[in-house]
Amino acid sequence: MQEVVQVRLREAGGLQLFFTNGLKFNVGDYVIVEADRGLDYGQIAGDSEMVLEKDLTGETPRKIIRKTNPWDHSQIEKNKKKAKELMDTCYKRIEAHTIPMKLIESEYSFDRSKIIFYFTAENRIDFRELVKDLANTFRARIELKQIGVRDEARILGGFGPCGRELCCAKFLKDFQSVTIKMAKDQNLSLNPTKISGLCGRLMCCLDYEYTTYRECLKGLPRAGQEVKTDKGKARVISTNPLKRTVTVKTEDGNIVDLVFKDGQAIPVVIKKEERR
């Protein structure tokens, strides 16, 4: 058995498993870890767990060296400032090579042996010559990493329509799949401007309560479905999964609210409103 924990490498890196090396950590702790070539830093993103080595898939996890100390944090801040200074040079090199890409952010590895440039682009691009140019300029290993618009929003940050800091930049560990069906089942407006985040994709928060809504929808008829009432047949106009009610239109034109009790689809009229 081995103890592993999830670590987010740098601010914009992905989640990776690392062996705890017998050390104890709290979520949010910054640590120095073994990287592909040298040392790097990251942040603990979850609780540790015991696993069998045979259950580990993919590349064997590397080790966490230690928690960060004041000197480490000073070095990290220096690296951030230095990386910002590299952006202008990289912009000029991109323009010189006329590559259709948008530079988003740059990062130094902890030991400054590697520089990572994050960018977005409409399509896959050939940046091999650019990498060689940047490597000769900065005298370091260069990695150009193409990211999506959701990662771009996480790196740049900002505030959502709710007025709070973007979830992806604040606390989300990873992106979940979000579909238009989640908005429909929660009776949200399907206006793209109301359910899309700064990245232009569906808001991540649509996923937060979707499981609850899906459970509440069980046994309820869908909009457009025909149901039987004590006044005859009616067609469902809308549903309210939290209240377990549906609004229907009867054959004589009345608008009626129906409630489903005890998990059984037995409609009971609770309100009537004559159509005007």
Residue 119 pairs with which residues in a beta bridge? 103, 146
Return the CATH number of the domain spanning residue range 73-147. 3.30.300
Tokens coding 123: 């399509």
CA dist., res. 254 & res. 248, Å (int): 8
Q: What is the 3-state secondary structure (H, E, C) of 213-254?
A: HHHHCCCCCCCCCEEEECCEEEEEEEEECCCCEEEEEECCCC
Pair of tokens at residue 210? 């979707």
Q: Which pLDDT score is estimated for 104?
A: 93
pTM: 0.72
State residue 11's pLDDT score: 66
CA–CA dist 159, 97 (Å, integer): 34
The two counts, helices (H) then strands (E), for the chain are: 7, 14
Per-residue model confidence (pLDDT) at position 47: 87
The pLDDT tens digits along the chain (276 residues) read: 888 898 888 766 678 889 998 889 998 899 999 887 678 888 898 888 888 877 777 778 889 999 999 999 999 899 888 888 889 999 999 999 999 999 999 988 888 888 989 999 988 889 999 999 999 999 889 999 999 999 999 888 899 988 999 998 888 877 889 999 999 889 888 999 899 999 999 999 999 999 999 888 888 888 888 887 777 788 888 888 888 888 888 888 888 888 876 545 455 555 555 444
Joined together, the tokens standing for residue 97 give 């090579």
Residue 100 confidence (pLDDT): 94
For the chain, the straight-line distance linking the first and the last C-alpha, in angstroms and rounded, comes to 71
Backbone angles phi, psi at 120, to 5 degrees: -120, 155
Calpha distance 236→266 (Å, rounded): 14
How distant, in Å, are the alpha carbons of 7, 28, 69, 180, 209 from that of 173? 10, 11, 24, 22, 17
